């Protein structure tokens, strides 16, 4: 007999994955992660026995529940499920999946909709970040129809405005956890920065490549990918994250100068593949780095207007920032989302007693 779990599959920004209510998953992390691996079909490169898409961007999970904080509506836990290993990483946030949290919370009855739009105040449990999401709800109903477009997603949809508050030090507690804006790892200048996402920034030419290359071209160079991973492992140690060989943070980004109206050009790694567009949290962190002198990103940044515009493989991501010195008050970005299917996900009943704990609210 299989296990039936209520589930909604959604596209959030340029990512996709199942959204669950926290009450429908085990409270114990090991049992929860076992169910998420089964749900996505990991580990398997095609995730053939689950609903994962065989790609890091389509192997993500959002877990949403009510918040006990008076100024917060819902809590959101993000899980990155490895496609080829039995690993679930809940250390990072995901700003793209975050775009679907507001609509999901409203349609799940966790937030009362208003007219014509609804503010959903979200606490990200991975990093502690606070995010305000403005969802279009004409007549008190979530709408996914609209004229907003984002690179990496075909067509248009209703806009979802996300404002990230107090994002610096998401995992390490400091914007520059090593105390340096630039330092060398194995002779390569890097910036180790923890904005909305812990990241390692490096100028692409320092590694003998270009930030304008297609993701497939970068991934096809095993020597380059191995070099980036070696640098990333040391970056994680220096940032106080320990052994990050089984973690997706810190995320590396290869940078180049901004051209054609972009502030900077970037290729963002997830970390063992190159993102087909740009992660929201990674984009916010990179945007902060372009505005602060002394970083690897600052000399590459072109004056492209008030917002930071990041050129990526699918187009350009625009980030609004409120900075005062080194203090980041907020960062904003426009995303879209779509509810794809709703119903019950069927999972094989786990063989191990630990994975068969009763379902409970987190």
Domain ranges of the chain: 2-159+337-356, 183-331
Looking at residue 39, its pLDDT comes to: 97
Model pLDDT, residue 354:
44
pLDDT per position as a tens digit, 155-168:
999 999 999 998 88
Answer yes or no: same fold for 2-159+337-356 and 183-331.
Answer: yes
Q: Summarize the confidence of residues 223-228 as an average pLDDT.
A: 98
Q: How many whole angstroms from its chain centre is CA 153?
A: 16
Whether the pLDDT of residue 355 is over 60: the answer is no
- In which band, very low, low, confident or very high, does the pLDDT at 335 lie, cut at 50, 70 and 90? very high
Per-residue pLDDT tens over the stretch 130-143 = 999 999 999 999 99
CA angle 102-99-50, nearest 5°?
100
Q: What is the CATH number of domain 2-159+337-356?
A: 3.10.310.10
Q: Is the pLDDT assigned to residue 357 strictly greater than 70?
A: no
Tell me: pLDDT of 183 over 90: yes
At 352, the pLDDT band (50, 70, 90 cuts) reads low
Give the 3-state DSSP-derived string for the chain, with helices as H, strands as E and coil as C. Answer: CEEEEEEEEEEECCEEEEEEEHHHCCCCHHHHHHHHHHHHCCCCCCCCCCCCCCCHHHCEEEEEEECCCCCCCEEEEEEEECCCCCCEECCCCCHHHHCCHHHHHHHCCCCCCCCCEEEEEEEECCCCCEEEEEEECHHHCCCCCCCECCCCCCCCECCEEEEEECCCCCCCCCCCCCCCCCEEECCEEEEEEECCCEEEEEEHHHHCCCCCCCHHHHHCCHHHHHHHHHHHHHHHHHCCCCCCCCCCCCEEEEEEECCCCCCEEEEEECCCCECCCCCHHHHHHHHHHHHCCCCCCHHHCCCCCCCEEEEECCEEEEEEEEEECCEEEEEEEEECEEEEEEEEEEEECCCCHHHHCCCCCC
pTM for the model: 0.82
- Indicate the burial class of 219 (C-beta count within 10 angstroms; 0-12, 13-18, 19 or more): middle
For 263-311, what is each residue's pLDDT tens digit?
999 999 999 999 999 999 999 999 999 999 999 999 999 986 789 999 9
The predicted pLDDT at position 284 comes to: 96
Share of the chain above pLDDT 90, in %: 90
Q: What is the mean pLDDT of residues 225-245?
A: 98
pLDDT score for 73: 98
pLDDT given for residue 356 in this prediction: 41
Mean pLDDT value across the chain: 94
Q: What's the fold here for domain 183-331?
A: Diaminopimelate Epimerase; Chain A, domain 1 (3.10.310)
């Amino acid at each position: 007999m299989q296990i039936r779990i209520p589930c909604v599959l959604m596209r959030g920004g340029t990512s996709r994955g199942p959204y669950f209510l926290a009450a429908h998953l085990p409270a114990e992390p090991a049992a929860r992660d076992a169910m998420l691996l089964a749900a996505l079909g990991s580990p398997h490169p095609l995730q053939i026995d689950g609903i994962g898409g065989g790609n890091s961007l389509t192997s993500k999970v959002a877990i949403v529940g009510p918040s006990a904080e008076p100024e917060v509506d819902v809590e959101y836990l993000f899980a990155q499920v490895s496609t080829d290993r039995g690993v679930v990483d809940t250390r990072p946030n995901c700003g793209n999946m975050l775009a679907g949290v507001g609509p999901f919370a409203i349609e799940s009855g966790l937030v009362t909709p208003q007219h014509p739009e609804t503010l959903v105040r979200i606490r990200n449990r991975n990093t502690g970040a606070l995010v305000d999401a403005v969802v279009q709800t004409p007549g008190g109903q979530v709408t996914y129809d609209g004229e907003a477009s984002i690179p990496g997603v075909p067509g248009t949809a209703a806009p979802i405005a996300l404002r990230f508050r107090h994002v610096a030090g998401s995992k390490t507690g400091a914007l520059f956890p090593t105390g340096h804006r630039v330092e060398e790892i194995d002779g390569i200048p890097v910036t180790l920065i923890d904005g909305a996402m812990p990241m390692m920034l490096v100028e692409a030419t320092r590694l003998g490549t270009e930030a304008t290359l297609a993701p497939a071209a970068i991934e096809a160079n095993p020597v380059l990918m191995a070099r980036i991973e070696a640098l990333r492992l040391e970056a994680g140690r220096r940032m106080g994250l320990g052994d990050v060989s089984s973690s997706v943070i810190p995320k590396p980004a290869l940078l180049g100068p901004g051209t054609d109206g972009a502030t900077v050009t970037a290729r963002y790694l997830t970390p063992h593949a190159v993102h087909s567009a740009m992660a929201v949290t990674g984009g916010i962190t990179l945007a902060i780095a372009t505005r602060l002198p002394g970083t690897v990103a600052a000399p590459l940044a072109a004056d492209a207007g008030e917002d930071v515009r990041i050129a990526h493989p699918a187009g350009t991501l625009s980030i609004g920032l409120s900075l005062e010195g080194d203090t980041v008050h907020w960062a904003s970005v426009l995303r879209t989302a779509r509810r794809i299917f709703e119903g019950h996900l069927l999972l094989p009943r786990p063989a191990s007693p630990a994975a068969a704990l009763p379902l409970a609210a987190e």
